Amino acid sequence: MCTNLSLNRYSKTKDFYMKLRITLISFFIGIVSYSQYTEVINSKRPGFSESPFGVGTKVYQIESGLFYQYDGNPSLLNVKKSRGLDLFLRSGFISEKFELSANFKLQKDDLIQNTLTGNTTSIGGFNQFTIGAKYLFYMPKYKDPSKEIRSWKRKIAYDWKRLIPSVGLYVGYNTNLLSKDYKAISSSPKAALLLQNDFSNRLILVTNVVGDYLTLKDKRTFGYIATLTYSITPKFSFFGESQGMFSSKSKTMDFGGGIAYLINKDYQIGLDIRTDSQFEQLNIYGAVGLSYRIDRHKDKLIREKPNKDGSGRVQYKRESFFKRLFSRKGRRVKKPRISKPKKARKKKVKKARKPRKSKRSRRSLRY
């Protein structure tokens, strides 16, 4: 009797998760054209894809999220429940195009080897510590149609340069500074090609081509992450994401989406839900996160110098770090000498002298 009851319960839970997965997939297909995008805080969350653009120099950004993952195999009656904290640190360095990052993950896993008997083993600790850097190599320039006043067709015409993506490169290293339960994971490098298409000011497509654990034959994986984002308002938005990871032993494809809300220019919260596209397993992932940045960024120094004819002043930006480092003139940029306009001198007006009297007139006055 006990075995029949447990099998009935298991079949009911299986049907429930199957219906839930079908509902989630149909829901995400409906919102795939909406997603999160904001120019205020450049956050990686919610979602797994990464933009080629950095956060900027002297910007210190923290992206954290609480997640829960359920992995079940009906044929083997095995269930794995994971929960934990995902922490991502980012900061700009030297240039606006260069960024350093570190990813930490604190996780606890409950492994149920047999759902009928209920035997459970638990492990926990740090299971990921990755450091990396990325650089933006190319960014296309788009025209501003609002400035066009001569032709109405050109003003409403689509700029086909938007189909050319911005290109960046990420290089990282998976360290072995992990907890005892996850020490079996060896350290190895990873790399990713980062692409971003700005189809409009609201619709963005971010594509990543990822290679992970490149030096390990057993765990070497290659895959992609594609995220389509759309911002409804400056503070509220949706996103849809597809991820596929392929190795010699297995392949996984996830599909999900979520919602993001911008509290202010430095705070953002988001919700992420995804599921596996393979109906043979029950894989559901959910996360809620907060992104925060400490903004001490300053624009490049702009100075003024007078024109040759003295009619006005022209603004110019300070040279970059490498130009100042390797330039012949030296590392420092000399300040231009701005001559102050001289005051006009007042011309002295000579007073008119009185006419002198002749000697004859003087003699006549004596007598």
**Average pLDDT of span 69-89:** 83
Does 24 or 244 have the greater pLDDT score?
244
- What confidence tens digit (pLDDT) does each residue in 350-360 have? 666 666 656 55
**Average pLDDT of span 151-159:** 76
Instruction: Using the predicted structure, report yes or no on whether residue 331 has a pLDDT greater than 60.
Output: no
Instruction: Using the predicted structure, report yes or no on whether residue 290 has a pLDDT greater than 50.
Output: yes
Which region among 57-61, 126-130, 321-325, 340-344 has the lowest average model confidence (pLDDT)? 321-325
- What is the largest distance, in Å, between two alpha-carbon atoms of the chain? 163
Task: Report CA Rg, the chain.
Answer: 34
**Average pLDDT of span 164-175:** 95
Q: What percent of the chain has pLDDT over 70?
A: 66
Does 81 or 75 have the greater pLDDT score?
81
Q: Kindly report the pTM of this predicted structure.
A: 0.73
CB 51 within 8 A of CB 206: yes
Name the residue among 91, 87, 39, 95 with its Cα closest to residue 63: 87
What gap in Å lies between CA 247 and CA 128, rounded to an integer?
A: 19
Q: Provide the pLDDT for residue 27.
A: 42
We find that the CATH architecture of domain 2-295 is: Beta Barrel (2.40)
Domain regions of the chain by residue span? 2-295, 303-334
Please state, rounded to an integer, the average pLDDT across all residues of the chain. Answer: 77
Does 171 or 343 have the greater pLDDT score?
171
Beta bridge partners of 61: 90, 293
Beta bridge partners of 101: 90, 132
Does 294 or 10 have the greater pLDDT score?
294
- What confidence tens digit (pLDDT) does each residue in 94-106 have? 888 899 999 999 9
Q: Provide the pLDDT for residue 40.
A: 79
Q: Provide the pLDDT for residue 142.
A: 79
Query: Which residues are within 8 A (CB) of 137 and not within 5 positions of it... i.e. 6 or more apart?
Result: 52, 97, 167, 168, 169
Burial class (CB in 10 A: 0-12, 13-18, 19+), 193: middle
**Average pLDDT of span 222-237:** 92
Does 255 or 201 have the greater pLDDT score?
255
Q: Provide the pLDDT for residue 329.
A: 46
Query: Which residues are within 8 A (CB) of 239 and not within 5 positions of it... i.e. 6 or more apart?
Result: 34, 35, 36, 46, 47, 227, 228, 229, 230, 257, 258, 260
The pLDDT-based confidence of 187 (bands split at 50, 70, 90) is confident
